[in-house]
Amino acid sequence: MADFPSPMGTASVTADLVVLTVQDNELRVLLVRRGIEPHRGAWALPGGFVLADEDLDAAAVRELREETGLTAPVGHLEQLASYGAPGRDPRGRVVTVAYLALLPHLPAPVAGSDAEGAAWVALPVGELAFDHARILADGVERARAKLEYSPLATAFCPPEFTITELREVYETVWDARLDPRNFHRKVTSTPGFVEPVGRSVAADRGRPAQLFRRGPTHLLHPPMLRPTP
Amino acid sequence: MADFPSPMGTASVTADLVVLTVQDNELRVLLVRRGIEPHRGAWALPGGFVLADEDLDAAAVRELREETGLTAPVGHLEQLASYGAPGRDPRGRVVTVAYLALLPHLPAPVAGSDAEGAAWVALPVGELAFDHARILADGVERARAKLEYSPLATAFCPPEFTITELREVYETVWDARLDPRNFHRKVTSTPGFVEPVGRSVAADRGRPAQLFRRGPTHLLHPPMLRPTP
DNA sequence: GCAAAAGTGTTCGTACTACACCCATGA
DNA sequence: TCATGGGTGTAGTACGAACACTTTTGC
């Protein structure tokens, strides 16, 4: 820690995660049930303290791996915002750096050391510990906005996916209905968004769908447009 | 500070500011020359420690007021990102929460207590202390992107401005040339972007320009488009 | 063949681009 | 009246919305 005086004294720094996934046409967030005070028994965002010699991003990656068991670099992780209101943690001054993770649907999550359990909870969720409801709302809003101008909807999909699966991601996150025909044309004609794998996947009924994987672009030109309600 | 053990121990938290303005068709950033070690004599972003009972946003507002002498709520201030690499400050663990401020051109800045001087420096700037070059780059990129879909270009203008002044803001921040005729039509026809004041301002030459103030919208529909080079 | 889902073509309206043109002022 | 910058009209083009239609499978 710092070996010099400052007006603040010092604070603890945590990395908290808004981990979103799409499952059964629902947007779900990974929550843990707190096993320790404060807010014991309440739902909270997963997260934990940043280690002494650890960068913020590294702490987020570590927490994500600990909570999900993820090893392969799938999905997407980015810094969301920081929250440091003086009274947000009754134990003292805690500043949290929140991260947003978008993942394809994964098997059951594992509980961390200080959590009694973890679960994928469909939105909207009820009460959350600390100011985590606000952090979650900011993360969801960020995710909704980013689907417009970035190809991050593919982060919610497995490595190979159909255009219909991608459209259902948009429809779920935006809570909107999109025209399947126009969506298909737009996605496949936006340079670098998706690339055809060359294989098809059989469906229960109807014509088999082509498989795609995510393309090289990080910015969509032109962007996807959210319907105006 | 926290009265409980954590794996990290604790860190100092600072609020640093990327304060941008447009002056003489140049994008300029407010920098201070450091009067204390480390990096004494080097240019740095203005900022300082978050106080013990102070929210992060409040610290940013306070630092902005101390550095610029601003009292009226003009311009725009938003959180940018946080930076906490272990070695970024040689004095110890310091996590900084960076803020982005967009201001109209103001009189000469004032120096803070731990700074020998402050100045508006045109971009690109040279070497900066700590990791401030990275923070500045992130702030400039954020500003460039936000001009597309938000009316924040008006934050660079005085309360009443002409369409030409607004266009010069876009041209300066984007380093691009925009057609004056189409720009005028688009800005005045985008709902809520600008509102006519009803008065004109005399020019040295040519027809006087109408004065406008910023409108109520926080999101531009349709967005302004950066020319594709 | 029929149902169902994937994918294509076509029409129409809106919005951007480029540039011709008019307007209002100072000298 | 000329120069200069402010502001409008208009044709061509690109793209999204809506929807008719074709394709490919299982039963």
Interface test with A, best of B3, B4, B13, B37 (most A CBs within 10 A): B13
pLDDT tens, position by position, A37-95: 899 999 999 999 999 999 999 999 999 998 887 776 789 999 999 999 999 999 999 99
Nearest to B13 by CA among A45, A16, A37, A56: A56
pLDDT for the residue numbered A19:
96
pLDDT for the residue numbered B13:
97
Token pair, residue B53, equals: 């009972």
Q: How many CB pairs under 8 A join A and B?
A: 122
- A58 contacts: CB under 8 Å, gap ≥ 6: none
Residue of chain A whose alpha carbon sits nearest to that of B96? A82
- The answer to whether the beta carbons of residues A95 and A81 sit under 8 Å apart is no
Nearest nucleotide over every DNA/RNA strand to the B190 CA, judged by C1': C15
| Domain ranges within chain A, ordered by starting residue | 12-149, 152-214
pLDDT tens, position by position, A151-198: 999 999 999 999 999 999 999 999 999 999 999 999 999 999 999 999
- The answer to whether the beta carbons of residues A11 and A84 sit under 8 Å apart is yes
pLDDT tens, position by position, A93-150: 999 999 999 999 876 666 665 666 889 999 999 999 999 999 999 999 999 999 999 9
Nearest to A122 by CA among A19, A27, A17, A23: A27
- A104 contacts: CB under 8 Å, gap ≥ 6: A21, A74, A75, A155, A156, A157, A158
**Interatomic CA distance for residues B102 and B83, integer angstroms:** 20
A84/B50 Cβ within 8 A: yes
CATH 1.10.10.10 fits B152-214, yes or no: yes
- B209 contacts: CB under 8 Å, gap ≥ 6: B162, B163, B164, B200, B201, B203
Residue A222, sorted as left (phi over 0), alpha (psi -120 to 50) or beta, turns out to be beta
User: Whole-number Å distance, CA A87 to C1' D18?
Assistant: 53
- A126 contacts: CB under 8 Å, gap ≥ 6: A43
Dihedral angle at the C-alpha atoms of A90, A93, A99, A105, nearest 10 degrees?
-20
Q: At B114, is the secondary structure helix, strand, or coil?
A: coil
At the top level of CATH, the class of B12-148 is alpha beta
Predicted confidence band of residue B74 (pLDDT cuts 50, 70, 90): confident
Q: At what angle do helices B132-149 and B163-174 cross, to 10 degrees?
A: 140
pLDDT for the residue numbered A69:
78
Locate tokens 């993360």: which residue? A139
Q: In terms of C-beta density within 10 A (0-12 exposed, 13-18 middle, 19 or more buried), how is residue B226 classed?
A: middle
Nearest to B143 by CA among B155, B126, B134: B155
**Interatomic CA distance for residues B9 and A10, integer angstroms:** 9
- The answer to whether the beta carbons of residues B22 and B105 sit under 8 Å apart is yes
At the top level of CATH, the class of A12-149 is alpha beta
- Asked if the C-beta of B49 comes within 8 angstroms of chain A's C-beta atoms, the answer is yes
pLDDT tens, position by position, B56-71: 999 999 999 988 877 7
- Asked if the C-beta of B219 comes within 8 angstroms of chain A's C-beta atoms, the answer is no
Nearest to B104 by CA among B154, B175, B149: B154
Residue A8, sorted as left (phi over 0), alpha (psi -120 to 50) or beta, turns out to be alpha
